[in-house]
Amino acid sequence: MKKYKICWVCTPLGTKGGIIKRLKLWAKYINKDKFDITLMFYTERENEFLQYFGSYPNVKLKYIKEIRNSVKSLLPGIYKLYQEFKSHNYDLIHSMFVWSDIYVGLASKITGGQKILSYSAGSYLDFSAHFPFYFEIHKHPLQLIKTALKLFAAKTLFKLIKNQIRGFIVVSKCNKRDIIKHGFPAARIYINKIGLDFEEFWVAKNKANAGKSLTFGWAGRMGKFKHGKGLDDVLQAFNSLTKDGHNNIKLLLAGDGINKSFWENKVSSLGLKQKAKFIGWTQNISDFFNKIDVFILPSFKEGTPRSILEAYYHNVPVIATDVGGIPEILENTKTGFLVPYGNPDLLKEKMAYFINNPDEARRMGTNAREYVVRNHDIKTEVSKLEDIYLNIIEDRY
C-alpha cells in the first residue's frame, strides 16, 4: 500500500474550540498505514498545545513562530514554509482558514506544484458578515480600524493565491454555497460533516432533576454585546419566564470570555443568581449536557455548531437560530425548534413550550440522539476525508 505525506498548516491555532477538536479526531482515526501527517502551526500557547496534542504519535508537530496571522510576519512565514515544502515532498498541503491559505499559497507559488486543499468551515473573507464580532471585541475605534485593514490585506492577498487551491472542505451545504459565491467550481468543494467520537461521552440514564424542574443550558464565548452566541436573548427570555411565575426552572451557563464578569453582573442585577449558574469552561462536556433538559443557542452567525450535535447525543433537544448550517441539522419540531435571531419573545415562547410539555422535550431528545448517531460518526467522516485527499492527490474530480 502506498503511503502519502500530508501536511496540515494551521494559524492561529487555539487550545479550545471546534478546529482543535476536529484536528484531534482526524489524528486519532486517520488511516496510519496510508497517511503520514505533519502539522505545522502557530499558537500563542505553544507548551499547552504540545501537551494537549502530544498523545498522537502518528502526527509530527512543527511549531513555526513565523506564520502568525499578520502582514508584518508574512515574508518570514512564506520563506519558512518555502524551506519546509522544498525539503519535504508532500503529496498534499491541507491548510486551515484564510491566513493559512495565504501563507501556503504564496509559498507554493515559489516552490511550485503544491497541491493545496483548504478547510474553510464556510467562513471565508466576508467582512460585512464578521464586522459585528469585531465591533464587539474592539473597544477603541483605532483597534477596529486596524482589524479592518488587516482583513482588507487578507482579502487582497487571497486573490493572489486563489487559483493555487485545488479544493475546499466545508461542513455543510450552506458553507458550500458561500464558497461557490467566491468563484470556485462546485465539483471541487467537498462536504465533510462535523463528526463526533461517541466513545468520548457518557450519557446519564436518568436526569438528576427528572420530574422536578426543567433546566436550560447555554454554552459559548462570553462577549459583551448581542452579536455572538445570543446570551443576551437567553437571559431576557429566561428572566421573563420567571416573572411569569415559572419558578421551577434553572439555567446553566457554560463557557468563558473576557466579559464573563459583565454577564455575571447582569444576572445579579436581574435577580437570577439563584436560578442562573455559571459553570465556566468544562473539559468533560457530558457533565454539562447530562444536567440540562434543553440546550439553547440563539447565535447571530454559525457554521455547523458541534455543541448542537453534542447536545443531541445526550438526548437533549435544541432551540437555535435558523442561521448558517443549523437548519441542516435541526429539524423544527422533531429535534427542537428554529427561531429567528434577535427575537427573545419567540425564544421565550419555545422555552415555555418545553416547560409546559416535558414529554415533548424527551421525545425530541430521543429523535436528536437517533439523528446524530446515524449522521455524524467521526469514523465515517474521517473515511470520507481520506477519499477527499485521494481525489486531490490523484486529480479525480
Give 141-168 pLDDT, tens digit per residue: 677 677 777 777 877 888 888 888 999 9
Residue 190 has pLDDT above 80, yes or no: yes
Question: Is-contact 250 216, C-beta < 8 A?
Answer: yes
* Stretch(es) of the chain classified as CATH 3.40.50.2000: 4-195+377-393, 199-375
Please state which architecture CATH assigns to domain 199-375: 3-Layer(aba) Sandwich (3.40)
Q: What is the mean pLDDT of residues 49-67?
A: 84
Q: Where are the beta strands (DSSP E) in the chain?
A: 4-10, 35-41, 59-63, 92-96, 116-119, 165-170, 189-191, 214-219, 249-254, 276-280, 294-297, 318-321, 336-339
% residues pLDDT > 90 (the chain) = 64
Cα distance between residue 162 and residue 159, in whole Å: 5
pLDDT in the model for residue 131: 53
Give 346-396 pLDDT, tens digit per residue: 999 999 999 999 999 999 999 999 999 999 999 999 999 999 999 999 987
Read off the pLDDT band of 106 (50, 70, 90).
very high
| Three cell numbers written together for 342 | 434577535
% residues pLDDT > 70 (the chain) = 91
Question: Is-contact 21 285, C-beta < 8 A?
Answer: no
Say whether domain 4-195+377-393 belongs to CATH 3.40.250.10.
no
Give the full edge-to-edge strand order of the sheet including 165-170.
Answer: 59-63, 35-41, 4-10, 92-96, 116-119, 165-170, 189-191
Question: Is-contact 195 378, C-beta < 8 A?
Answer: yes
Max alpha carbon distance in the chain (Å)?
69
Cα distance between residue 386 and residue 377, in whole Å: 15
Give 8-57 pLDDT, tens digit per residue: 999 887 766 778 889 999 999 999 999 999 999 998 887 777 777 777 88
pLDDT in the model for residue 122: 47
Of 219-223, 265-269, 324-328, the poorest mean pLDDT is in 219-223
Pair type for strands 116-119 and 165-170: parallel
Burial of 45-56, coded b for 16+ CB within 10 Å and e otherwise, reads eeeebeeebeeb
Question: Is-contact 149 168, C-beta < 8 A?
Answer: no
Cα distance between residue 124 and residue 279, in whole Å: 32
- Nearest residue to 233 (alpha-carbon basis) of 148, 291, 296, 170: 296
- Nearest residue to 168 (alpha-carbon basis) of 188, 193, 194: 188
